[in-house]
Structure 1
Protein backbone atom coordinates (compact mmCIF):
# COMPACT_ATOMS: atom_id res chain seq x y z
CA UNK A 1 0.00 0.00 0.00
CA UNK A 2 1.16 3.49 -0.78
CA UNK A 3 -0.31 6.77 0.44
CA UNK A 4 0.03 9.79 -1.80
CA UNK A 5 -1.34 13.30 -1.95
CA UNK A 6 -4.72 13.57 -3.60
CA UNK A 7 -5.55 15.84 -6.51
CA UNK A 8 -8.55 16.92 -8.56
CA UNK A 9 -8.21 13.86 -10.82
CA UNK A 10 -9.04 11.71 -7.75
CA UNK A 11 -12.53 13.19 -7.27
CA UNK A 12 -14.36 10.46 -9.28
CA UNK A 13 -12.52 7.69 -7.40
CA UNK A 14 -13.23 9.28 -4.01
CA UNK A 15 -16.90 9.72 -4.88
CA UNK A 16 -16.89 6.03 -5.84
CA UNK A 17 -15.43 5.20 -2.41
CA UNK A 18 -18.22 7.14 -0.71
CA UNK A 19 -20.83 5.49 -2.96
CA UNK A 20 -19.48 2.05 -2.04
CA UNK A 21 -19.55 2.94 1.66
CA UNK A 22 -23.15 4.20 1.41
CA UNK A 23 -24.20 0.99 -0.38
CA UNK A 24 -22.40 -1.13 2.25
CA UNK A 25 -24.04 0.76 5.14
CA UNK A 26 -27.46 0.67 3.47
CA UNK A 27 -27.23 -3.09 2.95
CA UNK A 28 -26.73 -3.40 6.72
CA UNK A 29 -29.63 -1.11 7.59
CA UNK A 30 -27.32 1.65 8.79
CA UNK A 31 -28.52 4.68 6.82
CA UNK A 32 -28.28 7.27 9.60
CA UNK A 33 -24.72 8.27 8.76
CA UNK A 34 -25.02 9.28 5.11
CA UNK A 35 -28.48 8.14 4.03
CA UNK A 36 -29.08 5.65 1.25
CA UNK A 37 -28.56 7.84 -1.81
CA UNK A 38 -25.12 7.72 -3.47
CA UNK A 39 -22.76 10.57 -2.58
CA UNK A 40 -22.16 11.19 -6.28
CA UNK A 41 -25.86 12.02 -6.72
CA UNK A 42 -25.77 14.99 -4.33
CA UNK A 43 -24.21 18.19 -5.71
CA UNK A 44 -23.21 19.51 -2.27
CA UNK A 45 -21.27 16.32 -1.54
CA UNK A 46 -19.58 16.40 -4.96
CA UNK A 47 -18.62 20.01 -4.23
CA UNK A 48 -17.19 19.04 -0.83
CA UNK A 49 -15.04 16.25 -2.27
CA UNK A 50 -13.86 18.58 -5.05
CA UNK A 51 -12.96 21.21 -2.46
CA UNK A 52 -11.04 18.64 -0.43
CA UNK A 53 -9.12 17.59 -3.55
CA UNK A 54 -7.94 21.16 -4.03
CA UNK A 55 -7.16 21.79 -0.35
CA UNK A 56 -3.76 20.13 -0.16
CA UNK A 57 -5.01 17.89 2.66
CA UNK A 58 -6.33 14.94 0.68
CA UNK A 59 -4.43 11.66 0.97
CA UNK A 60 -5.15 8.63 -1.21
CA UNK A 61 -4.22 5.10 -0.19
CA UNK A 62 -3.58 2.79 -3.12
CA UNK A 63 -3.32 -0.98 -3.24
CA UNK A 64 -1.90 -2.39 -6.49
CA UNK A 65 -2.33 1.04 -8.14
CA UNK A 66 -6.05 1.11 -7.25
CA UNK A 67 -7.42 3.89 -5.02
CA UNK A 68 -8.50 2.08 -1.86
CA UNK A 69 -9.16 4.85 0.63
CA UNK A 70 -9.12 8.58 1.19
CA UNK A 71 -8.39 10.78 4.17
CA UNK A 72 -8.57 14.56 4.35
CA UNK A 73 -6.71 16.57 6.98
CA UNK A 74 -7.05 20.25 7.69
CA UNK A 75 -8.66 22.64 10.15
CA UNK A 76 -11.46 21.48 12.42
CA UNK A 77 -14.95 21.58 11.02
CA UNK A 78 -17.09 24.64 11.82
CA UNK A 79 -19.47 22.63 14.01
CA UNK A 80 -16.66 21.42 16.31
CA UNK A 81 -15.44 23.21 19.43
CA UNK A 82 -12.00 24.63 18.57
CA UNK A 83 -9.00 22.98 20.19
CA UNK A 84 -7.04 25.00 22.73
CA UNK A 85 -3.76 23.94 21.10
CA UNK A 86 -2.43 23.22 17.61
CA UNK A 87 -4.00 20.14 16.06
CA UNK A 88 -4.26 18.08 12.93
CA UNK A 89 -7.90 17.39 12.19
CA UNK A 90 -9.14 14.46 10.14
CA UNK A 91 -11.98 16.05 8.16
CA UNK A 92 -12.91 12.90 6.29
CA UNK A 93 -12.00 9.22 6.03
CA UNK A 94 -13.54 6.71 3.64
CA UNK A 95 -12.57 3.30 2.36
CA UNK A 96 -13.61 1.68 -0.91
CA UNK A 97 -15.47 -1.35 0.38
CA UNK A 98 -13.68 -3.58 -2.14
CA UNK A 99 -10.68 -3.14 0.18
CA UNK A 100 -12.53 -3.66 3.47
CA UNK A 101 -10.31 -5.56 5.90
CA UNK A 102 -7.01 -4.56 4.25
CA UNK A 103 -5.98 -2.07 6.96
CA UNK A 104 -6.54 0.97 4.73
CA UNK A 105 -8.20 3.06 7.44
CA UNK A 106 -5.48 2.16 9.94
CA UNK A 107 -2.76 3.13 7.47
CA UNK A 108 -4.40 6.47 6.72
CA UNK A 109 -4.83 7.28 10.41
CA UNK A 110 -1.18 6.34 11.00
CA UNK A 111 -0.32 8.79 8.23
CA UNK A 112 -2.28 11.52 10.05
CA UNK A 113 -0.30 10.83 13.23
CA UNK A 114 2.97 10.91 11.29
CA UNK A 115 2.08 14.22 9.64
CA UNK A 116 1.17 15.71 13.02
CA UNK A 117 4.47 14.54 14.50
CA UNK A 118 6.40 16.00 11.56
CA UNK A 119 4.72 19.35 12.24
CA UNK A 120 5.43 19.19 15.98
CA UNK A 121 1.72 18.77 16.75
CA UNK A 122 0.70 16.41 19.54
CA UNK A 123 -3.09 16.41 19.01
CA UNK A 124 -4.98 14.62 16.24
CA UNK A 125 -8.76 14.90 16.30
CA UNK A 126 -11.57 13.40 14.25
CA UNK A 127 -15.32 13.49 14.42
CA UNK A 128 -17.71 10.80 13.32
CA UNK A 129 -21.29 9.64 13.25
CA UNK A 130 -22.31 8.44 16.71
CA UNK A 131 -25.75 7.00 15.94
CA UNK A 132 -27.12 3.58 15.06
CA UNK A 133 -25.01 0.89 16.74
CA UNK A 134 -22.01 3.13 17.55
CA UNK A 135 -19.65 0.94 15.54
CA UNK A 136 -17.88 3.89 13.93
CA UNK A 137 -17.00 5.41 17.31
CA UNK A 138 -15.74 2.00 18.42
CA UNK A 139 -13.63 1.76 15.26
CA UNK A 140 -11.83 5.01 16.08
CA UNK A 141 -11.33 3.84 19.66
CA UNK A 142 -9.75 0.65 18.29
CA UNK A 143 -7.36 2.94 16.41
CA UNK A 144 -6.18 4.61 19.62
CA UNK A 145 -8.57 7.57 19.75
CA UNK A 146 -10.52 8.48 22.88
CA UNK A 147 -13.93 10.12 23.11
CA UNK A 148 -14.01 13.76 24.12
CA UNK A 149 -17.33 15.46 23.40
CA UNK A 150 -20.56 14.78 21.59
CA UNK A 151 -22.40 17.19 19.30
CA UNK A 152 -25.33 17.38 16.91
CA UNK A 153 -25.64 18.84 13.45
CA UNK A 154 -29.42 19.10 13.16
CA UNK A 155 -30.53 15.62 14.22
CA UNK A 156 -27.23 13.97 13.18
CA UNK A 157 -25.40 12.77 16.34
CA UNK A 158 -21.64 13.13 16.33
CA UNK A 159 -18.67 12.23 18.48
CA UNK A 160 -15.32 14.00 18.64
CA UNK A 161 -12.35 11.77 19.39
CA UNK A 162 -8.70 12.60 19.93
CA UNK A 163 -5.33 10.91 19.85
CA UNK A 164 -2.41 12.33 21.77
CA UNK A 165 1.09 11.89 20.42
CA UNK A 166 4.12 11.57 22.68
CA UNK A 167 6.26 14.65 23.14
Structure 2
Protein backbone atom coordinates (compact mmCIF):
# COMPACT_ATOMS: atom_id res chain seq x y z
CA UNK A 1 0.00 0.00 0.00
CA UNK A 2 1.19 3.47 -0.85
CA UNK A 3 -0.25 6.68 0.61
CA UNK A 4 0.14 9.80 -1.49
CA UNK A 5 -1.03 13.34 -1.10
CA UNK A 6 -4.16 14.03 -3.08
CA UNK A 7 -5.67 17.15 -4.56
CA UNK A 8 -8.79 18.56 -6.15
CA UNK A 9 -8.31 16.21 -9.12
CA UNK A 10 -8.95 13.33 -6.68
CA UNK A 11 -12.37 14.64 -5.60
CA UNK A 12 -14.22 12.43 -8.14
CA UNK A 13 -12.35 9.36 -6.84
CA UNK A 14 -13.29 10.25 -3.27
CA UNK A 15 -16.91 10.77 -4.34
CA UNK A 16 -16.90 7.35 -5.99
CA UNK A 17 -15.68 5.80 -2.72
CA UNK A 18 -18.37 7.64 -0.76
CA UNK A 19 -21.02 6.49 -3.24
CA UNK A 20 -19.80 2.92 -2.81
CA UNK A 21 -20.02 3.28 0.97
CA UNK A 22 -23.61 4.55 0.71
CA UNK A 23 -24.57 1.59 -1.48
CA UNK A 24 -22.96 -0.85 0.96
CA UNK A 25 -24.44 0.80 4.08
CA UNK A 26 -27.89 0.76 2.49
CA UNK A 27 -27.51 -2.91 1.53
CA UNK A 28 -26.72 -3.89 5.12
CA UNK A 29 -29.56 -1.83 6.59
CA UNK A 30 -27.49 1.10 7.88
CA UNK A 31 -28.85 3.90 5.73
CA UNK A 32 -29.23 6.16 8.80
CA UNK A 33 -25.51 6.90 8.61
CA UNK A 34 -25.23 8.50 5.16
CA UNK A 35 -28.65 8.07 3.59
CA UNK A 36 -29.56 6.08 0.49
CA UNK A 37 -28.72 8.46 -2.34
CA UNK A 38 -25.28 8.66 -3.95
CA UNK A 39 -23.24 11.61 -2.75
CA UNK A 40 -22.29 12.39 -6.33
CA UNK A 41 -25.97 13.04 -7.15
CA UNK A 42 -26.14 15.92 -4.67
CA UNK A 43 -24.39 19.12 -5.87
CA UNK A 44 -24.06 20.39 -2.27
CA UNK A 45 -22.24 17.24 -1.17
CA UNK A 46 -19.99 17.33 -4.24
CA UNK A 47 -19.14 20.95 -3.45
CA UNK A 48 -18.56 20.13 0.21
CA UNK A 49 -16.06 17.37 -0.61
CA UNK A 50 -14.34 19.53 -3.24
CA UNK A 51 -14.07 22.40 -0.74
CA UNK A 52 -12.69 20.10 1.95
CA UNK A 53 -10.08 18.73 -0.48
CA UNK A 54 -9.18 22.28 -1.47
CA UNK A 55 -8.89 23.63 2.11
CA UNK A 56 -7.56 20.53 3.87
CA UNK A 57 -5.06 17.92 2.94
CA UNK A 58 -6.27 14.86 1.07
CA UNK A 59 -4.42 11.57 1.26
CA UNK A 60 -5.11 8.69 -1.09
CA UNK A 61 -4.18 5.11 -0.22
CA UNK A 62 -3.39 2.99 -3.27
CA UNK A 63 -2.96 -0.72 -3.63
CA UNK A 64 -1.24 -1.37 -6.89
CA UNK A 65 -2.52 1.41 -9.10
CA UNK A 66 -6.03 1.38 -7.63
CA UNK A 67 -7.31 3.94 -5.12
CA UNK A 68 -8.13 1.94 -2.00
CA UNK A 69 -9.06 4.67 0.46
CA UNK A 70 -9.06 8.38 1.12
CA UNK A 71 -8.74 10.73 4.04
CA UNK A 72 -9.08 14.47 4.33
CA UNK A 73 -7.44 16.17 7.30
CA UNK A 74 -7.28 19.79 8.35
CA UNK A 75 -6.21 21.91 11.28
CA UNK A 76 -9.78 23.07 11.93
CA UNK A 77 -12.65 21.07 13.41
CA UNK A 78 -16.01 21.16 11.65
CA UNK A 79 -18.56 23.71 12.90
CA UNK A 80 -20.64 21.08 14.72
CA UNK A 81 -17.73 20.15 17.02
CA UNK A 82 -16.36 22.17 19.93
CA UNK A 83 -13.02 23.72 19.01
CA UNK A 84 -9.97 22.22 20.66
CA UNK A 85 -7.99 24.33 23.11
CA UNK A 86 -4.72 23.30 21.48
CA UNK A 87 -3.43 22.80 17.92
CA UNK A 88 -4.89 19.71 16.29
CA UNK A 89 -5.31 17.73 13.13
CA UNK A 90 -8.87 16.73 12.37
CA UNK A 91 -9.86 13.80 10.18
CA UNK A 92 -12.76 15.26 8.20
CA UNK A 93 -13.33 12.20 6.02
CA UNK A 94 -12.05 8.66 6.04
CA UNK A 95 -13.39 6.16 3.54
CA UNK A 96 -12.26 2.84 2.13
CA UNK A 97 -13.11 1.71 -1.38
CA UNK A 98 -15.38 -1.30 -0.93
CA UNK A 99 -13.20 -3.76 -2.92
CA UNK A 100 -10.42 -3.09 -0.38
CA UNK A 101 -12.52 -3.35 2.78
CA UNK A 102 -10.91 -5.44 5.50
CA UNK A 103 -7.38 -4.90 4.18
CA UNK A 104 -6.30 -2.32 6.78
CA UNK A 105 -6.67 0.71 4.52
CA UNK A 106 -8.48 2.83 7.10
CA UNK A 107 -6.00 1.91 9.83
CA UNK A 108 -3.07 2.79 7.53
CA UNK A 109 -4.61 6.18 6.78
CA UNK A 110 -5.16 6.83 10.50
CA UNK A 111 -1.52 5.97 11.20
CA UNK A 112 -0.54 8.33 8.40
CA UNK A 113 -2.58 11.09 10.05
CA UNK A 114 -0.74 10.40 13.32
CA UNK A 115 2.60 10.62 11.51
CA UNK A 116 1.53 13.92 9.93
CA UNK A 117 0.55 15.28 13.34
CA UNK A 118 3.94 14.31 14.77
CA UNK A 119 5.72 15.82 11.74
CA UNK A 120 3.85 19.09 12.30
CA UNK A 121 4.43 19.03 16.06
CA UNK A 122 0.70 18.69 16.77
CA UNK A 123 -0.25 16.62 19.81
CA UNK A 124 -3.95 16.05 19.13
CA UNK A 125 -5.72 14.09 16.39
CA UNK A 126 -9.52 14.11 16.39
CA UNK A 127 -12.29 12.61 14.31
CA UNK A 128 -16.04 12.41 14.54
CA UNK A 129 -18.30 9.66 13.31
CA UNK A 130 -21.81 8.30 13.27
CA UNK A 131 -22.71 7.03 16.73
CA UNK A 132 -26.06 5.43 15.91
CA UNK A 133 -27.19 1.86 15.50
CA UNK A 134 -24.93 -0.42 17.49
CA UNK A 135 -21.93 1.94 17.74
CA UNK A 136 -19.75 -0.18 15.45
CA UNK A 137 -18.09 2.84 13.87
CA UNK A 138 -17.24 4.29 17.28
CA UNK A 139 -15.79 0.88 18.19
CA UNK A 140 -13.73 0.90 14.99
CA UNK A 141 -12.06 4.15 16.00
CA UNK A 142 -11.55 2.92 19.57
CA UNK A 143 -9.86 -0.14 18.09
CA UNK A 144 -7.53 2.23 16.25
CA UNK A 145 -6.36 3.97 19.41
CA UNK A 146 -8.96 6.71 19.81
CA UNK A 147 -10.75 7.65 23.03
CA UNK A 148 -14.32 8.95 23.08
CA UNK A 149 -14.94 12.60 23.92
CA UNK A 150 -18.07 14.68 23.34
CA UNK A 151 -21.25 13.56 21.64
CA UNK A 152 -23.40 15.74 19.41
CA UNK A 153 -26.51 15.63 17.27
CA UNK A 154 -26.91 17.37 13.92
CA UNK A 155 -30.34 17.14 12.27
CA UNK A 156 -31.20 13.95 14.21
CA UNK A 157 -27.81 12.43 13.26
CA UNK A 158 -26.04 11.19 16.42
CA UNK A 159 -22.31 11.80 16.38
CA UNK A 160 -19.31 10.97 18.51
CA UNK A 161 -16.05 12.91 18.69
CA UNK A 162 -12.96 10.85 19.43
CA UNK A 163 -9.34 11.85 20.04
CA UNK A 164 -5.92 10.29 19.96
CA UNK A 165 -2.51 11.50 21.04
CA UNK A 166 -0.12 10.83 18.17
Question: If the TM-score is normalised by the length of the shorter chain, which range does it land in?
Answer: over 0.9
Match of 1:50 in 2: 50
Give the secondary-structure state (helix, strand or coil) at the position aligned to 2:31: coil
2:15 aligned residue: 15
User: What corresponds to 1:35 in structure 2?
Assistant: 35
1:69-148 to 2 correspondences below 5 Å: 69-74=69-74, 75-148=76-149
Segments of 4+ moved more than 6 angstroms: none
Count of residue pairs the alignment pairs up = 165
Instruction: Say which structure is richer in helix.
Output: 2
The 2-side partners of 1:6 and 1:56 are apart by 10
Q: Is the partner of 1:150 in helix, strand or coil?
A: strand
- Shift in Å at residue 56 of structure 1? 4.5
Equivalents in 1 of 2:77, 2:96: separation in Å? 21
TM-score (norm 1): 0.96
Root-mean-square deviation (CA, aligned residues, Å) is 0.9
Mapped partners of 1:16, 1:111: distance in 2: 22
Give the conservation status (yes or no) of the 8 Å contact 1:33–1:131.
yes
The runs of 5 or more residues in structure 2 that have no matched partner are: none
**Aligned match of 1:2:** 2
